[in-house]
Amino acid sequence: MYLGKTYNETEIMYNTLTPAQMREIHSKSCQVLEEIGMVVHHQEALKLLKDAGAYVEEGDKVYIPASLVEWAIKRAPSRFTLYDRDGNPAMQVENRNVYFGTGSDTPYLIEYGTRERRRWKKKDVENGITLCDYLPHIDFVMSMGLISDVDIRMNTREQYAVMIRKSKKPQVVVCDNVEDLKDVIAMAAAVRGGLEQLQRKPLFAVYCEPSSPLVNSFDAIDKLLLCAEYKLPVNYAAGGVAGGTTPVTAGGTILLNNAECLLGLVIHQLKSPGAPFLFGYGNGPMDMITMQSVYASPTEIQ
């Protein structure tokens, strides 16, 4: 049974932060939540937070006590497993296990051979997902590209239909809104043999994110709550851009992103204690010439 690059405690692991630094970042993140607060544009989430002891003021701003953060951390499971299309264990998500996959939703591709830069078509996504299915060191698939030759309102559904047909591997899915997500869940449940079977052997994890700095949109929280309700894995991952949407320093960006993800965890566990939650985020600096996020940078691995 292949479960990717599982962690062996005898191996040497690379850390950019010491345990003391990690504790300090966590403490300061809790301070941000408690003293600075965050904006949450979702009434159900605000009610969950208020009923649990958070302070909510006008403008949808909420302040989270550190005790509530610690409660959520203790309630969240320490591991979950993603399964392939055939129902076999494929990714054991726990500890320092490492898995590799593609990205999602790029608007353009570079045509192989001609080097032409053009928009993705459905056939391109099919080819890309098929290739990933054959690559032994790709553990999961994402949509890779935005499909330009389908109705834009159907893009998420078309992407997922390609992923589920062209690869047996687990998926990480990105949806525009909760209606898209409900249809993706319905497709995966049909493949798995029903919603209960999908919950028992999840085929995908959902990716959604806050809007740095310190804002959480209705759609992001709506998807987060649906995943909690259905007990399907979700990654509420902040995508901070140092020098743009977060502090320019690596430490400041990690602190802010950590606080944003902790807020997602609290809301998620209040909705459904014990539901699977993947904690993690990506951050990189802003290129001050192009005003674009630099994905390939040393700080991405921190």
pLDDT digits (tens, 9 = 90+) for 228-274: 999 999 999 998 898 999 998 888 999 999 999 999 999 999 999 99
Domain count, the chain: 1
Asked whether residue 7 is assigned to any structural domain, the reply reads no
Give the tens place of pLDDT for each residue, 74-84.
Answer: 999 999 999 99
Q: How confident is the model at residue 299 (pLDDT cuts 50, 70, 90)?
A: low
Nearest Cα residue to 216 out of 37, 69, 27? 37
Please determine, for residue 1, whether its predicted confidence score (pLDDT) is greater than 50: no
Asked whether residue 153 is assigned to any structural domain, the reply reads yes
CA distance 207 to 95: 19
Please determine, for residue 215, whether its predicted confidence score (pLDDT) is greater than 50: yes
| 30: CATH | 3.20.20.480
Asked whether residue 12 is assigned to any structural domain, the reply reads no
Give the tens place of pLDDT for each residue, 105-155.
Answer: 999 999 988 999 999 999 999 999 999 999 999 999 999 999 999 999 999
0.75 surpassed by pTM: yes
CA angle 226, 42, 201 (to 5 degrees): 10
169 or 9, higher pLDDT:
169
Asked whether residue 61 is assigned to any structural domain, the reply reads yes
Asked whether residue 154 is assigned to any structural domain, the reply reads yes
Average pLDDT over residues 146-165: 97
| pLDDT for the residue numbered 236 | 97
Asked whether residue 3 is assigned to any structural domain, the reply reads no
CA distance 63 to 36: 7
How would you classify the pairing of strands 79-83 and 89-94?
A: antiparallel
What ranges make up the beta strands (E) of the chain? Answer: 38-40, 55-57, 61-63, 79-83, 89-94, 108-110, 117-119, 171-174, 204-208, 215-216, 234-236, 241-242, 277-278, 284-287, 292-293
Asked whether residue 8 is assigned to any structural domain, the reply reads no
Give the tens place of pLDDT for each residue, 31-62.
Answer: 999 999 999 999 999 999 999 999 999 889 99
Domain that holds residue 75: 19-301
Q: How confident is the model at residue 70 (pLDDT cuts 50, 70, 90)?
A: very high
**DSSP three-state, residue 191:** helix
Please determine, for residue 5, whether its predicted confidence score (pLDDT) is greater than 90: no
| pLDDT for the residue numbered 275 | 99
Nearest Cα residue to 183 out of 207, 152, 158, 220? 158
